[in-house]
Amino acid sequence: MDHELTGVEIFPHIRIVMGIIIGMGITRLLAGIARFVQHPARESISTIHLAWVATMLLMLVHFWWWEVALYGIRHWSFGVFFFLIIYSVVLFLMSVLLFPDDIREYANYEDFFLNRRKWFFGLLASTLILDVVDTYIKGETHFDEYRIELLVSTPVFFILCLMAMRIAIRKFHLAMVAINMAYEAIWIATLFDTPS
């Protein structure tokens, strides 16, 4: 039977590819956390690093859940599919930056993170722009619903990311991760903790 596939038929295939990439990011973070359990004497724990690990786990799970809104798209293009893969890859790369294959050149994970912060916060800043595009892709109604949020939070967090790329002060990075984690948690509670 020859028929054109609908958006509802196409999206599960797209979500599988996205899920593989997001799943690799989650796996990377969980395997990294396991290193601290496996080798407690070898791996020194850093509050900044572990807080970003927890925040990234929240971001990955939130992204996966949030993308269910793409079921509403009726007409898919390769461009939209490719955009979603790029977004997933950026989140995966952020996970890899938190647990690289080798940190022998650095004193510990915090030292690595602070020295490679330009990459991490550059990628984080790019997710803000990707999120605006992602919200637009989900339709005009969806975009209008979050327009004020995007107009306020996106520029503020983008500026904070640019500052984080330049500033290596530990207290600043503790504040940055605390703000990011709180914001992510508030978003999740606001969007998904609704009575059934």
Residue 59 has pLDDT above 80, yes or no: yes
Section 167-179 average pLDDT: 96
Residue 3 has pLDDT above 70, yes or no: no
What percentage of the chain carries pLDDT values higher than 70? Answer: 93
pLDDT category at 8 given cuts 50, 70, 90 is low
139: left (phi > 0), else alpha (psi -120 to 50), else beta? left
- What is the overall mean pLDDT for the chain? 88
pLDDT of 1 reads: 45
HSE-up (13 A, CA, CB side) for residue 30 = 9
Section 142-159 average pLDDT: 87
Q: In sequence order, which residues have a C-beta less than 8 Å from that of residue 91 and are 6 or more positions away?
A: 21, 22, 25, 56, 59, 60, 63, 127
Which residue type is seen at 149?
E
